[in-house]
Amino acid sequence: MRASPSGLSGGGVPLASSYDQIVRLVECDSPDFAALVSALDAELEDRYPGLSEGASPPAQEMAVAVVTYSGDVPVGCGALRELEAGVGEVTRMFVLPEARRLGGARRMLGALEAQACALGYSAVRLGSGVRQPEALALYEAAGYRRIPLFGEYEGAALCVCYEKALV
């Protein structure tokens, strides 16, 4: 398997795919996942200067991590962690700018929801930011409904929270 220009390499269990992208279940400490989370943190710092520091949950809190690959190149990531009994949180959702609008985020979200069901969660929640209209549109199109701010998002004026019941 060849490495991408950034030194990342593909791997993991395939969960969803399209003709040019595949979502894989990876270890939470995967170098590909970690590199994409770093890219996400940099983008969040650009969108919300000074607010994203320390916002990233540590890898050990994640129950599941996924990475979307275009060929062998990692282009997106997402994770799932337990919030409370029966409820998970979708977190660390990100797609590199050059790979956006190709359906990878929607496939990752579906893969994380399937993993949440497999873990016995009856619902998933997530938090996003008002300066990420593309993410908000994705979640609303995927059937998430707005809920009051929860947990670490409480009191965060630039946050929007969502929940989706899992069938």
- For the chain, 167 residues long, give each residue's pLDDT as a single digit of tens: 323 333 334 455 454 445 578 999 999 999 999 999 999 999 999 999 987 655 556 666 889 999 999 999 999 999 999 999 999 999 999 999 999 988 999 999 999 999 999 999 999 999 999 999 999 999 999 999 999 999 989 989 899 999 999 97
Q: In the Cβ-directed half-sphere of 52, how many Cα atoms lie within 13 Å?
A: 19
Q: Which CATH superfamily is domain 13-165 in?
A: Gcn5-related N-acetyltransferase (GNAT) (3.40.630.30)
Q: Where are the alpha helices (DSSP H) in the chain?
A: 31-47, 104-118, 133-141
CA angle 158-68-109, nearest 5°?
A: 50
Q: How far apart are CA 38 and CA 34, in angstroms?
A: 6
